[in-house]
Copies of this chain bind each other. A is one copy, B any other.
Amino acid sequence: MCQTVDMNDDARTPAEEVGVLLKEAQSLLHQRMDERLRPLGLSVPQYACLQALRDSPGITGSELARRVFVSRQSMNVLLQGLAGRGLVERSEQPGPRRERATVLTSAAAGLLDEARGAVAGVAGTMTDGLPADDVARLRALLAACRDALAGAPSTADGRP
Interface residues of A (CB under 8 A from B): 1-3, 5, 7, 10, 13-19, 21-30, 32-33, 35-36, 55, 69, 113, 116-130, 132, 134-139, 141-146, 148-150, 152, 154-159
Q: A7 contacts B141, CB within 8 Å? A: no
Q: B121 contacts A2, CB within 8 Å? A: yes
A142 to B142, CA, bound (A): 10
Partner of A142, one of B18, B32, B157: B18
Partner of A22, one of B25, B36, B129, B135: B25
**Residue among A5, A16, A136, A138 with max Cβ neighbours from chain B (10 Å):** A138
10 shortest A-B CB distances, which residue pairs? A121-B156, A15-B123, A3-B124, A21-B142, A28-B149, A5-B120, A26-B26, A125-B156, A15-B127, A25-B146
A42 to B41, CA, bound (A): 35
Residue of B nearest to A150 (CB): B28
**Residue among A5, A132, A142, A143 with max Cβ neighbours from chain B (10 Å):** A142
Partner of A69, one of B14, B23, B144: B23
- Once A14-B136, A135-B15, A139-B18 are accepted as A-B contacts, the answer to whether A148 and B119 lie under 8 Å apart by CB is no
Partner of A18, one of B16, B138, B150: B138
Partner of A158, one of B24, B121, B128: B121
Q: For A21, list chain B residues within 8 Å (CB).
A: 139, 142-143, 146
**Residue among A16, A55, A154 with max Cβ neighbours from chain B (10 Å):** A16
Give the shortest distance, in Å, between A133 (CB) and chain B (any CB).
10
